[in-house]
Structure 1
Amino acid sequence: MKTLSVVGTLAMFLVGGGIVVHGISPLHHAIEHFAQQQSTLISLMLPTLLNLVLGFIIGGIVVLLVKAVARLRGVSH
């Protein structure tokens, strides 16, 4: 069950990062252009890895914002 939760969490970060990247057209094109300049294997994996990294970063920012708003409202968990 632990493996499923870890894989599911990684998948959510990957999908979330992909949604953000596809929503910002210049970023999407920059990643694709950069990936095409790499070797074959790296060019296939790089967009996915960058989506995952961006998903982690954006997810972390969202967690910090939610905690800050909760602290301002005086709600603690």
Structure 2
Amino acid sequence: MKGLSVAGTAAMFLVGGGILGHGIAPLHHAVEGWVAGAGPVLGTLLPLLADGLVGLLAGALVLAVVTGVQRLRKPRSA
């Protein structure tokens, strides 16, 4: 079950990063440019790695915002 949860989390980062990466045109075109100059193996791995990195960064940003909001809303005890 632990392996399935890790694989599912990685898939969520890849899918979310892919959605965001396709929505940010300069990033999408940059990755396409890198892939064009890469070989067949790197041409397959680079978009996957870019999507994972974008998803990871977006997740970290959301976590930071949610944590900050929770700290601001947390009632202070006397």
Q: TM-score, normalised by structure 1?
A: 0.91
Q: Residues of 2 paired with 1:21 and 1:50: CA distance? A: 8
- List, as ranges, runs of 4+ consecutive aligned residues in structure 1 with deviation greater than 6 Å: none
Q: Residues of 1 paired with 2:33 and 2:43: CA distance? A: 9
Q: Which has the larger radius of gyration?
A: 2
- 2:65 paired residue number: 65
SS in 2 for 1:36: helix
Deviation at residue 23 of structure 1 after TM alignment: 0.6
- 2:39 paired residue number: 39
Q: Residues of 1 paired with 2:48 and 2:32: CA distance? A: 10
Deviation at residue 54 of structure 1 after TM alignment: 1.3
- 1:24 paired residue number: 24
Q: Residues of 1 paired with 2:25 and 2:54: CA distance? A: 15
Q: How many residue pairs end up in the alignment?
A: 75
CA-based RMSD of the aligned residues comes to 1.1
Deviation at residue 30 of structure 1 after TM alignment: 1.0
Q: Which runs of 5+ in 2 are unaligned?
A: none
Q: Which runs of 5+ in 1 are unaligned?
A: none
